[in-house]
Amino acid sequence: MSFSRGSRQIFNDISLDIPRGKVTAIMGPSGTGKTTLLKLIGGQLKPDQGSVEMDGNNVHQLTRKDLYQLRKRMGMLFQSGALLTDINVFDNIAYPLREHTDLDDSMIRSLVLMKLNAVGLRGARDLMPSELSGGMARRVAMARAIALDPVMVMYDEPFTGQDPISMGVLVNLIRSMNQSLHLSSIVVSHDVPETMSISDYIYLISDGRVVTQGTPEELKNSSDPWVQQFIEGQSDGPVPFHYAASPVMQDLIGE
């Protein structure tokens, strides 16, 4: 699949396979198009070439109605949480249930409380999104992402900007929900240790292509210097510390 924005090529003929029931991580430096990839999978963007298939359906050839049917089987956790700010936590999670099901209020209440209990926020159901911490907002968004019992959940940078406790909670939740709800998870992140600790398989992407792929162990043992620099978080290496410039002495002397 290839995709570009204007004249800038974001993906150049990349190919990824997301296995069922596993946690697949997509990692790479900032600005490599990881979030764009999730939007392509979800059908919010259309590739220039190639296709995205989910469960045998070509996402971009579906009618709007069929695409919406497919999306009911996908959950997505946005980086910002994307909670609706004018309704409280309970109503945020009840929202997709009310829109897509004919369940009565008592059944919706039970389902929402179960989802909230799964992320440890049953007691926060009456709070407004503005009253939640960043970590709590992401857990509420996680509860909303699984509200319709999807088969696949996509996590967009779930660990960014989280304190260590929140991060630990989110790491455990992603792993445990994947197992208990038999989900297929896609985690997009550049938080290396956390992502590697829960992933079954990792794709490392940069400059519009898959640089390498494999299990966390395989990546740790990779001999590729770029992969090692990324995983170890080294400041200098194949990706230079300095932005391209003339030699420093020449610049200082002013020539």
Partner 1 sequence: MNVLDKLQKLGQSVISVFSRLGQATLFLYEILLTIPGLLLRPSLVIKQLYTTGVQTLVIILVAGCFVGMVLALQAYYVLVDFGAEDSISQMVVLTLMRELGPVMTGLLFAGRAGSALTAEIGLMKSTEQLSGMEMMAIDPMQRVMAPRILAGFLAMPLLTAVFMAVGVLGGYLVAVHGVGIFEGVYWSLAQLKVDFYTDLMNGMIKSVVFGFVIVWIAVFEGYDSVPTSEGLGQATTRTVVHSSLAVLGLDFLLTAIMFGDI
As a whole number of angstroms, the distance between CA 171 and CA 196 comes to 10
Exactly one of 33, 42, 158, 216 binds partner 1 (CB under 8 A); which one?
42
Closer to partner 1 by Cβ: residue 99 or 217: 99
Exactly one of 1, 74, 196, 231 binds partner 1 (CB under 8 A); which one?
74
Select the span of 65-73, 162-170, 224-232, 235-243 touching partner 1 (CB under 8 A): 65-73
Edge to edge, the sheet with strand 209-214 lists 74-77, 152-156, 184-189, 23-27, 201-206, 209-214
Our finding on whether 82 is near partner 1 (CB under 8 A) is yes
Total site size for partner 1, rule CB under 8 A: 23
Taking the complex as a whole, how short is the minimal distance between the CB of residue 229 and partner 1, in angstroms?
A: 31
Taking the complex as a whole, how short is the minimal distance between the CB of residue 76 and partner 1, in angstroms?
A: 4
Our finding on whether 176 is near partner 1 (CB under 8 A) is no
- Which contacts qualify for 117-121: CB closer than 8 Å, 24 or more apart? 118/143, 118/146, 118/173, 118/177, 119/143, 119/173, 120/169, 121/89
Q: Is 203 helix (H, G, I), strand (E, B) or coil?
A: strand
Rg (CA), the chain: 20
As a whole number of angstroms, the distance between CA 43 and CA 210 comes to 21
Residue 111 contacts residue 148 (beta carbons within 8 Å)? no
Exactly one of 84, 126, 215, 225 binds partner 1 (CB under 8 A); which one?
84
Our finding on whether 15 is near partner 1 (CB under 8 A) is no
Our finding on whether 72 is near partner 1 (CB under 8 A) is yes
Our finding on whether 60 is near partner 1 (CB under 8 A) is no
Residue 23 contacts residue 185 (beta carbons within 8 Å)? yes
E strand or H helix at 35, and its extent?
A: helix 34-41
Q: What is the identity of the amino acid at 187? A: V
Residue window 131-170: x/- pattern of binding to partner 1, with contact defined by CB under 8 A: -------------x---x----------------------
- Contacts with partner 1 by CB under 8 A lie at 39, 42, 44, 68-69, 71-72, 74-76, 78-80, 82-85, 95-96, 99-100, 144, 148
